[in-house]
């Protein structure tokens, strides 16, 4: 099996988080070599006795191949720091999780995401505003991220699904331990409808624990361009998410509320501290330059992902060209040209017009990839 099993192994070791794993990778240069580190070397790297014992116990008791098979059997995708599909925005934040378990799909469109979070004890006002904001975000092609919790979170997810949009739920437990249990149906819909993903840094079998939720909030904010706090008391998990967003240099938005309402104390305080006041969805879209997300996603998908795609795009025109001519003009093997064209056709960049002849669908000036909207 691949190196993935070692990433999974480290994810099971209590006491080895992002910082310690990065230290191991810096020292050994390879995840497999880091997994075989000796106690003396671990001590030199500053590992405490408890972490060393936990590491040794995991290596002695866990069958990594069997665990990887268990994850695959559960239908989960595993993304690591080294994975091409690891969310770029999250990878940039401090203490980014070395490994993510994903049920469902993360797509290019999810680069343009906004977190909508708030109290479990929502008011009628909070419910109404959450629905209005999420509806506006979905209509603009924005992915909605939240924590699947009771209250504001679940209203955000439900509304995104009802409006036909994408939503990502970040859990504080393993993906086989959905919490709260009454939200399992919504979690299943996110995956089965192809409208987003469930994400967790916690291994299979990890049960929801109060200690897990503050760390997971850094993932909610890290996956997004900004965090919107609708209603929240003081203190609250939503405010923890907002603080993470500030630390990650992401935008923070807050919905003002009744000054006598406990549910509005959190967002009102955030506004006092400089968060952007939100009275309509346009306040979010304009601040984050998300008014043309659909067009930006289309441009992103039309860009070449490899040297082969770039070569074929440079050769193709609106006039049909046979696959053999493409192979000859680009110098690429016919089999590689064929497989690359198949992928490009799925992306909507090229089209087969019969007889193994292809045309370029989008004729435009050259454009270049960026990390986000400009």
155-157-158 Cα angle (round to 5): 65
Q: Beta 196-200 vs 167-170: how paired, if at all?
A: parallel
Q: Which residues of 129-144 are buried (b: 16+ CB within 10 A; e: fewer)?
A: bbbebbbbbbebbbbb
Query: 294: buried, middle or exposed (CB in 10 Å: 19+, 13-18, 0-12)?
Result: middle
pLDDT per residue as tens, the chain (374 positions)? 479 999 999 999 999 999 999 999 999 999 999 999 999 999 999 999 999 999 999 999 999 999 999 999 999 999 999 998 999 999 999 999 999 999 999 998 899 999 999 999 999 999 999 999 999 999 999 999 999 999 999 999 999 999 999 999 999 999 999 999 999 999 999 999 999 999 999 999 999 999 999 999 999 999 999 999 999 998 899 999 999 999 999 999 999 999 999 999 999 999 999 999 999 999 999 999 887 665 555 555 555 667 888 888 888 887 889 999 999 989 999 889 988 888 787 767 888 888 888 888 744 333 333 333 33
What is the enclosing helix (H) or strand (E) of 253? Answer: strand 251-254
To 10 degrees, the CA torsion angle through 315, 320, 321, 322?
A: 150
Helix 184-192 with 152-162: angle, nearest 10 deg: 30
**Is this structure's pTM higher than 0.85?**
no
Q: Cα(27)–Cα(43) distance, rounded to whole angstroms?
A: 13
In total, the chain counts a number of residues equal to 374
3-state secondary structure at position 114: strand
Q: Select from 252, 242, 187, 253 the least CA-distant residue to 218.
A: 242
Query: 374: buried, middle or exposed (CB in 10 Å: 19+, 13-18, 0-12)?
Result: exposed
3-state helix, strand, coil in the chain (%, to 5): 50, 15, 40
Q: Cα(79)–Cα(23) distance, rounded to whole angstroms?
A: 20
């Amino acid at each position: 099996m691949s190196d993935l099993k070692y990433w999974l192994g480290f994810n099971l070791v209590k006491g080895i988080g992002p910082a310690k794993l990065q230290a191991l990778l810096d020292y050994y240069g390879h995840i497999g070599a880091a997994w075989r580190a000796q106690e003396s070397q671990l001590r030199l790297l500053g590992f405490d006795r408890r972490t060393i014992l936990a590491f040794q116990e995991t290596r002695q008791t866990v069958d990594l191949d069997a665990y990887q098979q268990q994850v695959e059997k559960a239908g989960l995708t595993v993304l690591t720091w080294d994975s091409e599909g690891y969310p770029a925005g999250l990878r940039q934040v401090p203490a980014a999780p070395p490994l993510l378990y994903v049920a469902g799909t993360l797509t290019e469109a999810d680069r343009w995401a906004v977190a909508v979070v708030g109290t479990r004890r929502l008011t009628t006002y909070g419910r109404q505003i959450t629905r209005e904001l999420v509806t506006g975000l979905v209509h603009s092609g924005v992915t909605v991220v939240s924590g699947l919790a009771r209250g504001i979170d679940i209203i955000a997810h439900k509304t995104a699904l009802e409006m036909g949009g994408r939503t990502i739920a970040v859990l504080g437990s393993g993906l086989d331990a959905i919490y709260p249990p009454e939200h399992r149906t919504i979690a299943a819909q996110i995956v089965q409808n192809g409208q987003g993903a469930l994400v967790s840094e916690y291994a299979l079998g990890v049960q929801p624990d109060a200690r897990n939720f503050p760390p997971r909030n850094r993932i909610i904010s890290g996956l997004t361009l900004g965090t919107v706090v609708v209603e929240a008391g003081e203190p609250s998990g939503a405010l923890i998410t907002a603080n993470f967003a500030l630390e990650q240099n992401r935008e923070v938005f807050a919905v003002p509320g009744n000054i006598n309402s406990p549910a509005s104390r959190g967002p009102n305080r955030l506004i006092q501290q400089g968060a952007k006041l939100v009275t309509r969805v346009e306040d979010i879209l304009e601040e984050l330059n998300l008014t043309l997300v659909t067009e930006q996603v289309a441009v992103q998908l039309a860009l070449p992902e490899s040297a082969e795609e770039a070569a074929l795009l440079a050769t193709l025109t609106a006039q049909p060209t046979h696959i053999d001519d493409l192979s000859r003009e680009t110098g690429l093997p016919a089999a590689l040209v064929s497989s690359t064209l198949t992928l490009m056709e799925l992306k909507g960049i090229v089209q087969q017009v019969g007889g193994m002849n292809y045309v370029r669908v989008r004729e435009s000036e050259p454009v270049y990839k960026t990390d986000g909207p400009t």
